[in-house]
Amino acid sequence: EPEVTQTPSHQVTQMGQEVILRCVPISNHLYFYWYRQILGQKVEFLVSFYNNEISEKSEIFDDQFSVERPDGSNFTLKIRSTKLEDSAMYFCASSVPRNTEAFFGQGTRLTVV
Amino acid sequence: SQKIEQNSEALNIQEGKTATLTCNYTNYSPAYLQWYRQDPGRGPVFLLLIRENEKEKRKERLKVTFDTTLKQSLFHITASQPADSATYLCALDNRGTYKYIFGTGTRLKVLA
């Protein structure tokens, strides 16, 4: 069964460092998303991406964040200068058209120390 | 303000009973609503989608209803099993947007 894969599963980084979270969406999907979930809290939307550009972003997705689809398969989230409050589980998701089910990866747990 | 509310307290039910979970929303106009299951430390897994012009959708032991007048969706698991224990999330679009907006989730525990 096709699945969204994310690497790494866990990343520990020093405050102020840059991190890149990687995702391989399902191959025939067209819409890509990043969400985050702070421990014990709800799943929060960060950004959606379609046709090689950002479709929508939340207020959380400030200038410290960027996304890229560097080739035909990877979709990355970069955090330029991490803060303690960026510690969370980050989920990548993809969907075929946007108004159908989203398939989520298993997440990357980011810990900023 | 916009809100999606689910029962914040955990729901404990006896095996074999029907679990009913509620999702209420305010100041959204969704074209569709979805339900996901999330296990601890894992990503959400899609269960069911219902569109605004549908009243009810079923899949095996799962049933979802959608009342756009009440701004509410109900999610039912019949003949519940301990393996159904998880957090259940509702998610909706906001018409014309490119995102799914999630509720806070309800933790369900099915007791053997």
In contact, A105 and A2? CB cutoff 8 Å: no
Pairwise pLDDT comparison (B31 vs B23), residue with the higher score:
B23
In contact, A47 and A57? CB cutoff 8 Å: yes
Query: If you ran DSSP here, which 8-state letter would residue A71 be given?
Result: S
Residues in A closer than 8 angstroms to B99, CB to CB, are: 33, 45, 48, 56, 58
Q: For tokens 């999907």, what's the residue? A: A29
Which pair of tokens denotes residue A36? 């985050």
Write down the pLDDT at residue A106. 97
Locate the chain A residue with the closest alpha carbon to B99.
Answer: A48
Q: Which of B41, B101, B105 sits opposite A45 (nearest CB)?
A: B101
| Lowest mean pLDDT segment, chosen from A27-31, A65-69, B45-49 | A27-31
Q: How confident is the model at residue A73 (pLDDT cuts 50, 70, 90)?
A: confident
In contact, B106 and B11? CB cutoff 8 Å: yes
